[in-house]
Amino acid sequence: MQSNSVLDYLLKIPTKYKAGYLVLIDPDRYERDACIRLAHQAEEAGVDALLLGGSFLTGELNPIAEVLHNEISIPLILFPGDAMHVSRHVDAILYLSLISGRNPNLLIGEQVKAAPLIQRYGIEAIPTGYMLIDGGCQTSVGFMSGTNPLPRDKFDLAWAHALAAQYLGMKLIYLEAGSGANLPVPNGMISVIREQIGLPIVVGGGIKTPEIAAAKVDAGANFIVTGTIVERGADSSLMKALTEAIHR
């Protein structure tokens, strides 16, 4: 039987803090040593868990997953772009279904390919309704998935998708503007979804300051993800400021 220890850990975070903070490490952007340094900085800054992955990986994820898994004590959660990214060296995998799109391969195809490996490795799978929201520019996830993002002003469409994910039995909703997005997910959209559904809401993409992160939390986000901004930071001070703004 599969354990739910990482999901349980995540679900307890909003009982301790106002919201949780997840840092995304995309191994394509950094050399191995820089990934390891970033992960240690995140741990020191009080980040709650690391996401590892990206929508487009040209390098090898597995060796970096292995070293991070050995060296870092906060959970390491795979954030896969497709089934080829499944690694045994993680604590859990966000088992993403791109529910905002109508690409059957990303709704169920990659999940079927990944399922036997996930079982063989004994990794905890966290069923996640992944929703791409227009972030004001073309992003890698939009391009690679070949799907249209949900329009920024169609709050009713967004909450209907999130509600469908809840009825399908998913455990998290991930509202994604795309890594490096010009505009993060609108606060109003987060609030409407928060009012309509009970699932924890993860928000990421284009969050560039602690103030923006705090506003997403006030709107109803339970978890904030940042990647680009902390990867560009030279030290852990920005991650600490983000942790404080998100945890409170």
Binding site for ligand 1GP (CB under 6 A): 24, 176, 179-181, 204-207, 225-229
Q: Which is nearer to ligand 1GP, 127 or 136 (CB)?
A: 136
**How many angstroms separate the CA atoms of 124 and 163, rounded?**
24
Could you tell me the smallest distance in angstroms from the CB atom of residue 85 to ligand 1GP? 13
Could you tell me the smallest distance in angstroms from the CB atom of residue 63 to ligand 1GP? 22
Q: Which is nearer to ligand 1GP, 5 or 84 (CB)?
A: 84
**How many angstroms separate the CA atoms of 89 and 78, rounded?**
9
**How many angstroms separate the CA atoms of 184 and 206, rounded?**
5
Residue 90 Cα distances to 64, 68, 167, 181, angstroms: 10, 9, 28, 27
Could you tell me the smallest distance in angstroms from the CB atom of residue 203 to ligand 1GP? 8
CB 201 within 8 A of CB 220: yes
**Residue nearest to ligand 1GP as judged by C-beta position:** 204
Q: Which is nearer to ligand 1GP, 14 or 180 (CB)?
A: 180
Could you tell me the smallest distance in angstroms from the CB atom of residue 233 to ligand 1GP? 11
